[in-house]
């Protein structure tokens, strides 16, 4: 199963590269510096070009980066998406450092920014499950549950399409299992 509908909002799973998604915003698993890095962050900056980094630098000058769990929005440069929402996931450090709540905050703050900008569609990567080492199964449960709760609590959201773009097959399977359990 790779789809669930809550109100007017479709939550969808797919496997692939988030940089090619034609949506209003793709979400970047960034770091607090907002200056780029490896993983999906590197792929987004490479494909989107220097306009994204320039706006990230302006945000740094204004507010000194982005705290873990927070999110900021920029242009998407050359990408097919219109915006990039940069959020900073927690580094997994055993689970007793508020990692779960901070991961949920990433999803909520990204959705809030999308709603503030009246976006219709958004694509998320599997935040924190790469270099930041968050256990994949728990991250999938938190991601889907948090997004579902947000939509239920915001019946006036304009978001019609929320895509989870899983890069690796492991994550896709975990998301499929979780979405099945939610139906
Ligand atoms: N499209 C979709 N998902 C991808 C792509 C892609 N092109 N490339 C990788 N992933 P990671 P994190 C998946 O490491 O764990 C950076 O250096 C990947 O398989 O990108 O939040 C930042 O600057 C994994 O499932 O992000 C930070 O310093 C998921 O994206 C740090 O890494 C997240 O993996 C953030 O670490």
Q: Is the pLDDT of residue 1 over 90?
A: no
Tell me how far the alpha carbon of residue 155 lies from the centroid of ligand 1, in angstroms: 30
Over residues 32-50, the pLDDT tens digits come to: 999 999 999 999 999 999 9
Over residues 107-165, the pLDDT tens digits come to: 999 999 999 999 999 999 999 999 999 999 999 999 999 999 999 999 999 999 999 99
Whole-prediction pTM value?
Answer: 0.98
Q: What are phi and psi of 63, to 5 degrees?
A: -130, 5
Q: Is the pLDDT of residue 80 over 90?
A: yes
DSSP state letters, 90-132: PPPSSS-SSHHHHHHHHHHHHHHHHHHTT-SEEEE--TTSSTT
The Cα 73–Cα 91 span in angstroms is 21
- Alpha-helical (H) ranges within the chain are 39-48, 50-63, 99-116, 136-153, 169-182
Q: What is the ipTM score, two decimals?
A: 0.99
Q: What are the pocket residues of ligand 1 if the criterion is a CB atom closer than 6 Å to any ligand atom? A: 17-19, 29-31, 37-41, 43, 89, 125-132, 165, 167-168, 171
């Amino acid at each position: 199963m790779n789809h669930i509908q809550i109100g007017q909002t479709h939550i969808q799973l797919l496997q692939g590269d988030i940089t090619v998604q034609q949506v209003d915003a793709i979400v970047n698993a960034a770091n607090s510096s907002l200056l780029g890095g490896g993983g999906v962050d590197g792929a987004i900056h490479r494909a989107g070009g220097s306009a994204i980094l320039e706006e990230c630098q302006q945000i740094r000058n204004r507010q000194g980066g982005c705290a873990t769990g927070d999110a900021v929005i920029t242009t998407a440069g050359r990408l097919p998406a219109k915006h990039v929402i940069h959020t900073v996931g927690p580094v997994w450090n055993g689970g007793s450092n508020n990692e779960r709540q901070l991961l949920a905050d990433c999803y909520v703050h990204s959705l809030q920014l999308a709603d503030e900008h009246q976006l219709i569609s958004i694509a998320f990567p599997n935040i924190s499950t790469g270099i930041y080492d968050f256990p994949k199964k728990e991250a999938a449960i938190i991601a889907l549950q948090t997004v579902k709760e947000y939509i239920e609590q915001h019946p006036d959201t304009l978001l019609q399409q929320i895509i989870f773009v899983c890069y690796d097959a492991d994550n896709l399977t975990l998301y499929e299992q979780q979405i099945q359990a939610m139906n």
